[in-house]
Structure 1
Amino acid sequence: MLTAKKHWVMTSLRAARMLSGHRSLSKSLQECYSLLNIQENCNHDEVKEAYVKLAKLYHPDSGSDGADPLKFMQVEEAYKAVVKHLAERRKAESDQKLDEEEQSKYLAPQHRQYLNFEGIGIGTPSQREKQYRKFRVNRATDQVLDYRKQKLQAQDLENTMMVKDVQQSKKTKITQAVERLVEDLIQESMAKGDFDNLSGKGKPLQKFSQYPYIDPMTHNLNRILIENGYQPEWIVRQKEIKQTMEKLRNDMMSYRKKLGEPLTVYTQKHWDLNCEQFRNDIKQLNKTVDRFNLIVPLLNRQMLHFDPDKELAVILKNYDALMEANKTTSEIIGKSTEESSTKNNLFNWIKLFLKYSQRK
């Protein structure tokens, strides 16, 4: 009790000292706060922000119209005083908090009776002991119930596992019985000679002659997947990329043929717009190529991006070659037509000459 009184007295003295300090400094600090244009309950960040603002205004080297060295010195002194006051106030609050914690520690009940019975119960020691015994009985009952519950759950799990093991063993026995039955039937047929008339008896199987180093099981699995229409994703994407690129090339070639020769200002404008759309389509196709390269299993199967300018150059080159071939073909057809017309004219002249000769 003496210790508690001592701490209470010390706490009261410190609080009184802090209040008296506030009263003695209030007049000068009020001037400092008013000079910095801040409230008395502000924090350190607000004080610093206010000081920087006034320093930019009054500092001789700031270059502002309101630069005043004397005013700047007053602001600096006020800033130091306010910062010092904030530090003292923070220290006083920290000391007061420590004193309160220490006082509560000494004022807390330290009697032995409050440390017994796991802190259970209220009232006199005999009443708390009865309450603690009842609590232990209830706790023991709950523990027994939890143990029985866990034991029943373990038994149910064990029974379930036993049922699954029995079912699995039955399934295995049935499978083995079927396999033995099939093997017996094969052996019986071989003994009767049912397999003697088969073509290729005694010769090695030619099923894997094309792939002598591949695993037969892998080959069969791949064949089954292909026959059922399944293809890996990378193969599907590769096929899609090739078909899309071929369609874009054919469309550009057809459009160039449609514009004809020579290109006018109007047709040239349409051709440029179509080329721009072709570049956008190639850009989208290159994104598909990126996705393909991420899933392809082999590095040597990866694809490069398509260059739209190179593709357009190839398309125009093929178009020029096609036009040249058409021109040559037209010339050949024209020459043959001219020769055939000359021959027809000569033959007609001969017929007329013979007919005139017979009349004479």
Structure 2
Amino acid sequence: MRRHPRWLCVMLSNNMGHCVVGRGAMIPRKLKPFLCRMLSGYKPKNDVKDSYKILELEEGCSPDDVRSSYRNLAKKYHPDSSSGMADSKAFIKVEEAYRVVLSDLTAKQKSEAGEEEEEEEEQFKSKSLQHRHYLSFEGVGIGTPSQREKQYMQFRVDRATEQVLQYRQQRLEGLYAGSDLSRAKDVRQSKKVKITQAVERLVEDLIQESMAKGDFDNLSGKGKPLQKFSHSPHIDPMTHNLNRILIDNGYQPEWILLQKEIRETIERLRKSVVAARRKLGEPMTLPEQKQWGRVCEQLAEDIRKLNKRVDDFNLVVPILSRQMVHFSTDKEILRARKTYEAVLEKVSDSDTKEMSMLHFRP
């Protein structure tokens, strides 16, 4: 005998239709299976077999077969059907049998699913690690879980301390590396200062030596005070006076000399090409055409060299608008031809004037 909860209510029904209600009743052990079957809607096995026979099926069929058989029998026995075998009592039996069979199939499927789950769990247990509890705490420590937890906490403290030490070490190494770089930078700067000072002393010594020899005696304005050449407040007077002194004594910047050289060179090439064309005459024979071709090739080579000087000029010129473009060999040859034709026209005009003057002379 086992005492059940106080508020448990049990209702049992027998074949005579009587009900037995108990509140906090003591249920005999022999009545427990019967009670569970009554509460879960359990049907005796004989009723299940009869239900299969009513549906004209066998045990082990699928739910689809049950539904299909139920539809066919419902069409056959339903009172509202136009079938000649319509019978309400037979239809009720078919419907009850349909519900019993479906509940039986559902119970079987649940029991089979439970068995499969139990088998899978047993297989998993057989394949699982024997020391699964050692997978926690990152596998640190031995002993009971509480002992391993304490060991794991100490392990975390030690690891954090080690990480802090590594961080401080890296920071100090970075600081020392930065100090080394600054020290090397200071050394380079000191070397640069020493070199500058040495150059300045050398220049000062050369100036003093030249003054002692009298190299500056021929300068204009010797012994006179420097005059302020520019009155503009935006110009440094010292720089302006130095530039003026250099200009007055014939000094010119490199880019001005290069520009002058380039202009003189292109004018010389143009004159030489025109002179070579005038020597060949008009019209040119075959040997003269070959000679003219050699002149053009030489001009192309000279233009190539001149364009290199143009590149050097563009690198040193301080004003962007003063930069020069490359010269073209084809344009220079065309220019020489036009110049030659203009010279021929002048010569022909002068010849016609002389002829006309001789013709009208008495």
Query: Normalising to structure 2: TM-score of the pair?
Result: 0.35
Query: Normalising to structure 1: TM-score of the pair?
Result: 0.36
Higher normalized helix content (fraction of residues): 1
